[in-house]
Amino acid sequence: MKITDLPIKELEKEDKREILSACLSRIKEVEPKLHAFVTTLTAEDVEGKGFFDSSFQEVAQNDKGGSAEDSPLQGIPVGIKDVICTRNLRTTASAKMLDNFVPPYDATVVKKLKDSGAIVVGKNNCDAWAHGSSTENSDYGVTPNPWDLARVSGGSSGGSAAAVAAGEVPYSIGTDTGGSIRQPASFCGVVGLKPTYGRVSRYGLIAMGSSLDCPGPITKTVEDAAIVLNVIAGEDPKDATTLKDDSGQARMTTDFTKDLNKGIEGLKIGVPKEYFGLGLFDEVGEVFKQSLLTLEKMGAEVIEISLPHTEYALAAYYIIMTAETSSNLGRYDGVKYGFSAKNSKDLIDSYFKTRDEGFGDEAKRRIMLGAYVLSSGYYDAYFMKAAKVRRLIHDDFIKAFEHVDVILTPTAPTPAFKIGEKADPVSMYLADVFTVPVSLAGLPAISVPAGFSTDKLPIGIQIIGGHFEEAKILNVAHQFEKATGNEEWRKYKPKV
């Protein structure tokens, strides 16, 4: 097996210089076709930064106060979604508005990775501002799917998922607002974990929907996702939404690798009946049924449940998210930083021209929708109603978890669709129909590969847990991964 195919766990035993060299070579080889990165380091950059100098290793400290050499991520390359700030490394949000923006600081998640010895090799392409489900909205070009270059890699973290699937990096960090880690992970045949809202700091994210955004790992295996979560999780004084429990103790100290090998005999798995009339493709449904049979053979009990407000989730999400988006994008006015239009007559004209020329169609659509639902006369009719529906969806999940341990659904209703196939925005929004309810409730969920379509396209299943129950869903996902490890489809390889 090539070094670029190995998961983090196995790379611990390999020479770190060889790993980095192999990843940089792989990036150089496939990027002309894949466009999974907006910005990448070169071999010269790496030597200049002295990643393997003893002085660098002495400075790098992990959260426990030990040497970075104690961390399984020490010396392992990582790709960072381009909406996450990286000190002295261009961060564009895949939007021309921020074409030359170089942050003076690291996002907390990036700092934690660097403190553990991880090596950031570049910034992954995404839908501009993370607005999309296919990476077709990037101002730097589409990232196609490594399994079929005529199809999308998903979104908005499409570049992050494609880079891992194609062996450019062993893992990446994406963000998930309504499914933007899980859906591209499903499309690209990798593992994608959305943590509980508040589990991982949002400090340093270029915000989209502030009450929804969650950074998380995209990896080759479930164990790798647990390894990365161990590093990036934790309370952050720079982000008030990272949470403590009622006793005032941080709820972020779990070792997520500890319970991976627990058996799942007697585990109660809920299957929501509402998820099977929402444009579900037959092949996805068949893979899902086979996954349920596998889990039943392992001793789990499958129980039908109801999440009655599911049908309202997508509408509520696209009201709440656009409202928050319109507010967050208000700062891009051409004055403080970023793109500024030329030849403006006055300040007001500059504002209009900058935002007209700097924002793409999807950003404008979301700004207008958000401004509308927050406007006088419509706030109560739309935004407040959506907020109330969000609470009902949250309560549906809480009630369901009184009877089951985890909930299982397909990750996406279809395999990866063709580039340009979904020109209608509403049909694009429907690609997130299974992931959005989880985001509204702030729950953790993981997408794991579960099979393939007849066109050899990956299909994932989504395992959902209660708040702060990442360890539980990681355990179920890992056991499923082991149980299907010898399946024929596990031997398939991407085309690039």
Structure confidence by residue, pLDDT tens digits, 224-256: 999 999 999 999 999 999 976 544 555 545 799
Q: How far apart are CA 343 and CA 349, in angstroms?
A: 9
The pLDDT of residue 423: 85
Sheet strands (E) in 153-278: 171-176, 191-194, 214-219, 268-272
Residue 46 lies in a domain: yes
Catalytic (active site) residue 180: yes
Least Cα distance to 474 among 439, 445, 442, 451 occurs for 445
Q: How far apart are CA 323 and CA 333, in angstroms?
A: 18
Residue 463 lies in a domain: yes
Residue 67: domain span? 17-259+445-491
What's the chain's average pLDDT?
A: 93
Q: How far apart are CA 171 and CA 254, in angstroms?
A: 21
Q: Take residue 243 and report the two structure tokens written for it.
A: 């949470």
Q: Look up tokens 């194609």; give the residue.
A: 166
- pLDDT tens digits for 199-231? 999 999 999 999 999 999 999 999 999 999 999
Q: For the chain, how big is the Rg over CA atoms in Å?
A: 21
Do you know the residue count of the chain? 496
- Name the active-site residue from 180, 186, 340, 350: 180
The count of domains in the chain is 1
- Cβ atoms of 272 and 257 closer than 8 Å: no
- Cβ atoms of 76 and 11 closer than 8 Å: yes
List b or e across 272-306, with b for residues whose CB sees 16 or more CB atoms inside 10 angstroms: bebbeeeebeebbeebbeebbebbeebebeeeebe
Q: What is the mean pLDDT of residues 10-30?
A: 95
Backbone angles phi, psi at 80, to 5 degrees: -115, 130
Least Cα distance to 298 among 480, 481, 487, 470 occurs for 480
- pLDDT tens digits for 324-364? 999 999 999 999 889 999 989 999 999 999 999 999 999 99
Q: How far apart are CA 323 and CA 327, in angstroms?
A: 7
The pLDDT of residue 44: 67
Which residues, at least 6 apart from 486, have a Cβ–Cβ distance to it below 8 Å?
Answer: none
The pLDDT of residue 70: 77
The pLDDT of residue 195 is above 80: yes
The pLDDT of residue 445 is above 70: yes
Residue 350 lies in a domain: no
**Any idea what the CATH number is for the domain that residue 250 is in?**
3.90.1300.10
Give the three-class secondary structure for 411.
coil
Coarse DSSP helix, strand, coil percentages of the chain, rounded to the nearest 5 percent:
40, 15, 45
Residue 352 lies in a domain: no
373: number of CA atoms within 13 Å, CB side? 24
The pLDDT of residue 182 is above 60: yes
The pLDDT of residue 245: 52
- Name the active-site residue from 81, 194, 422, 472: 81
Residue 81 lies in a domain: yes
The pLDDT of residue 129 is above 90: yes
Q: How far apart are CA 351 and CA 349, in angstroms?
A: 5
| Alpha carbon 270 to chain centroid, angstroms | 24
Catalytic (active site) residue 81: yes
Q: How far apart are CA 284 and CA 70, in angstroms?
A: 41
- Cβ atoms of 295 and 484 closer than 8 Å: no
The pLDDT of residue 32: 97
- Name the active-site residue from 94, 138, 156, 350: 156
- pLDDT tens digits for 38-92? 999 876 666 666 666 543 444 344 334 445 567 999 999 999 999 999 999 999 9
Give the three-class secondary structure for 32.
helix
The pLDDT of residue 277: 77
Q: How far apart are CA 343 and CA 366, in angstroms?
A: 27
Measured CA to CA in angstroms, residue 133 lies from 208, 256, 416, 428, 435 at distances of 14, 29, 10, 7, 11
Neighbours of 350 (CB within 10 A): 18
Backbone angles phi, psi at 96, to 5 degrees: -65, -20
Local confidence band at 279 (pLDDT 50, 70, 90 cut-offs): confident
Q: What is the DSSP string of 85-108?
A: -BTTB---TT-GGGTT---SS--H
Q: Which residue has the higher pLDDT, 444 or 243?
A: 444
The pLDDT of residue 311 is above 70: yes
Of 162-171, 316-325, 333-342, 365-374, least confident by mean pLDDT is 333-342
